[in-house]
Amino acid sequence: MNKEKIAETLVNLRGNRSREEVAKSLGISVSALQMYENGQRIPKDEIKLKIARYYGVSVESIFFS
């Protein structure tokens, strides 16, 4: 897993949505989302699934491509 690529993908998927909006929808903190988007942390598997479902894409396309 390339943290920088994952971070870039997450930022691109978020688009014009605010971090607050996305974090609230996912049930995570804004700071956690920020760390994922900055490449500082990789989310746990259950959060990966929530992120993929929220954006309507596969887990693989975000975290394993």
pLDDT for 65 equals 80
The DSSP-derived string for 1-38 is --HHHHHHHHHHHHTTS-HHHHHHHHTS-HHHHHHHHT
pLDDT for 30 equals 98
CA distance 51 to 23: 9
Q: pLDDT tens, 7-35? A: 999 999 999 999 999 999 999 999 999 99
* Joined tokens for residue 35: 């760390």
In CATH, 3-63 is 1.10.357.10: no
CA distance 22 to 36: 12
pLDDT for 54 equals 98
pTM given for the model: 0.93
Cα 7 to its chain centre, rounded Å, is 7
Confidence of residue 47 (pLDDT cuts 50, 70, 90): very high
